[in-house]
Every structure is written in structure tokens, then in C-alpha cells.
Amino acid sequence: MEISIDEHSESEDMSFRDAVTDLAPNPEQECLREERARILREALAELRPNARRVLELFELEGHSMKEIAENMGISVAAVKARIFHARPKMRHELDQYFVKRAERRKRLRFGAPSSWEPSGRELRAAVS
């Protein structure tokens, strides 16, 4: 028995094509994924090479600390130390990105801070 994906079902007013869910990411999801990847790459680029490699192996590739130590020829304690110091630096870099982004949005919405000096009437109108 053959079923056309365009043929309507007799019992429902829906074609087989309409019933099948597309699991592929939509363009917006794909764009957001690419933007997150770019932001992470830029933040990782700010780390020292050894710290970057340890963090990539541990966080992104899922290797154990012991595997990383053996692979890089360093002690497990050194791996732990590099992860310990790299995480706050990554957090700082990511925070800087999002703070700058928020400031850009604010400037786009309200204009440059020095050019927007509202009177009392303008302020009351803006908040009401």
C-alpha cells in the first residue's frame, strides 16, 4: 500500500505532510545557535592557550581530568588549577559581551546619554 504525503486523510482534514513534525532547527534557532557559538569562540580566544585547551577538552569535549592530564603531559592538579582559573575569566568575558550589548540596546532605544536630557514634563510622560 502506498500513501501520498500530499493526499488528505479521509478521517481528518490534514495531510500526512502536515502531521509530520520537522525536527530541523528553524532559521531563527540556527541563527541563535551560530551567534552563541561565535560569542563562546571569542571568549575562549581571550584565554591563554593552555587554559583554553584544558577548558575545551573538559567542558566542550567531555574528557575527564585524568585523560586531559595524560594527553597534555601535566598533573591532574594542574588541570584542576587551569579549569579553576579559566572559568572566572570566561565568565568575565561573557559578562563583558552582554553588558556591552545591553548598553548598545539602551543607546539605540534612548539615544546617547549626553544627548538625552529630558525635562520634568518629558520624564513624567515617559513613565506614565
CATH of the domain at 66: 1.10.10.10
Question: What is the DSSP code (8-state) at residue 8?
Answer: B
Using one digit for the tens of pLDDT, what is the confidence trace for 43-76? Answer: 999 999 999 999 999 998 999 999 999 999 999 9
Whether residue 54 is contained in a domain is answered as yes
Q: Is the dihedral of CA 57, 78, 95, 93 positive or negative?
A: negative
Output the nine-digit C-alpha cell for 73.
603531559
Provide the CA 117 distance to its chain's centre, in angstroms.
35
The sign of the CA dihedral 39, 46, 98, 117 is negative
pLDDT of 12: 58
Give, to the nearest 10 degrees, the angle between helix 76-110 and helix 27-45.
120
Residue 9 lies in a domain: no
Range with lowest mean pLDDT among 23-32, 83-92, 97-106? 97-106
Residues 22-51 have pLDDT tens digits of: 777 788 889 988 988 898 889 999 999 999
Q: Whose CA is closest to 20, among 3, 38, 35, 44?
A: 3
How is 86-123 classified by DSSP, letter by letter?
HHHHHHHHHHHHHHHHHHHHHHHHH--GGG----HHHH
Containing structural domain, residue 59: 48-96
In a domain, 110, yes or no: no
* 30 falls within a domain: no
Q: Identify whether 82 is part of a domain.
A: yes
Question: In this structure, is residue 57 part of a structural domain?
Answer: yes
Rg (CA), the chain: 26
How many structural domains is the chain composed of? 1
Range name among 74-83, 103-112, 115-124 with the lowest pLDDT average: 115-124
Residue 86 lies in a domain: yes
**Residue 109 is assigned to a structural domain of this protein:** no
